[in-house]
Amino acid sequence: MFDSQKFRDDFLKRLDNKLHLEELFNYIPDAYFFAKDAQGRFINISHTWMDVRAIPREEDIIGKTDFDIHPKDLAEQYVAEDQRVMESASPLPNQVWLIPDRHGNLKWYLCSKIPLFGDGGKVIGVAGVLRDIKVAGTEFQSYQELDKVIAYVLEHYQERIQISHLADLMYLSVSQFDRKFKKLYQITPQKYILRVRINAACQSLTRTEKRVSEIALESGFYDQSYFTKQFVNLMGISPSEYRKKFKATESMS
């Protein structure tokens, strides 16, 4: 009787230990691969994902963590999910994440992760694949139902946005809309609006010489102290510190 398990294991033993799976993903433009060790340090990343994130060289990402390349609040969520995968030693498919692209624009991605096992079956890291939610296919049509809400927020974030109006766009009550949005995107509508506004402020801080108070107003904040507080909560540093840090980074690149 044919032993399929032995057949597969025998073949895998013959493989070069240095086989780089991310090379395959370099030929799939809508799928992005990454792998990290148990400490959350990147050990591999596909060139396609490097291009999306505007990472010019592998040495600029290998050995670094999410906290080195992402805003504080997003990095905390990514790391928490990595820990969940490693502690459970089980795959976690099709999780929705909000990630800035090379231009600083926020985009939704579907992320599937698996644990990486070392000798003795010990979990030594995590690997994942991301797909742009807009090109993920009809199997994720439920996410596309909220496209008009996402588009409205991106177009009107500088204005006062009422959650009731977003609910009306979907012909739902406020409570129904809130539950649907949070279930699909793992974030409340209010938190999403805040993230969009903070992201817009980040772009203005590094690309213009405008005063912080002016940037706050243009980003949809009508109180500078509230803007600064929320900025620190999400980014981990003040607007002025962010401007200094990332303008310096751009001048060195």
Q: Are residues 128 and 155 in the same domain?
A: no
| Per-residue b or e along 54-67, where b marks 16 or more CB atoms closer than 10 Å to that residue's CB | ebeeeeebeeebbe
- The residue from 75, 105, 138 where one domain ends is 138
Condensed to tens digits (0 to 9), the pLDDT of residues 13-55 reads 776 655 566 678 888 878 899 999 999 999 989 988 898 888 8
pLDDT tens for the chain, residues 1 to 253: 788 888 877 877 776 655 566 678 888 878 899 999 999 999 989 988 898 888 888 889 999 999 988 888 888 989 999 999 999 999 999 888 888 887 777 888 989 999 999 888 899 999 999 998 877 655 566 777 888 999 999 999 999 999 999 999 999 999 999 999 998 888 999 999 999 999 999 999 999 999 999 999 999 999 999 999 999 999 989 999 999 887 755 544 4
Q: Report yes or no: 188 and 182 within 8 Å, Cβ to Cβ.
A: yes
What's residue 249's pLDDT?
54
Which residue segment(s) compose the domain that 153 sits in? 145-252
- The residue from 138, 158, 179 where one domain ends is 138
Residue-wise DSSP of 159-219: S---HHHHHHHTT--HHHHHHHHHHHHSS-HHHHHHHHHHHHHHHHHHH----HHHHHHHT
Q: Are residues 120 and 65 in the same domain?
A: yes
- The residue from 98, 117, 138 where one domain ends is 138
Q: Which of 137, 133, 138, 150 is nearest to 196 (CA)?
A: 150
Radius of gyration of the chain, Cα coordinates, nearest whole angstrom:
21
Give me the amino acid identity at 151.
A
Q: Total domain count for the chain?
A: 2
Q: Are residues 133 and 175 in the same domain?
A: no
Q: Are residues 121 and 165 in the same domain?
A: no
Tokens of 148: 């008009």
Dihedral angle computed from the Cα positions of residues 90, 112, 146 and 136, in that order, rounded to the nearest 10 degrees: -140
Q: Are residues 155 and 112 in the same domain?
A: no
Q: Are residues 100 and 207 in the same domain?
A: no
Q: Are residues 43 and 111 in the same domain?
A: yes
Q: Are residues 34 and 111 in the same domain?
A: yes
Question: For residue 122, what is the domain's CATH number?
Answer: 3.30.450.20
What's residue 252's pLDDT?
47
Q: Are residues 13 and 127 in the same domain?
A: yes
Q: How far apart are CA 56 and CA 43, in angstroms?
A: 16
Q: How far apart are CA 47 and CA 190, in angstroms?
A: 34
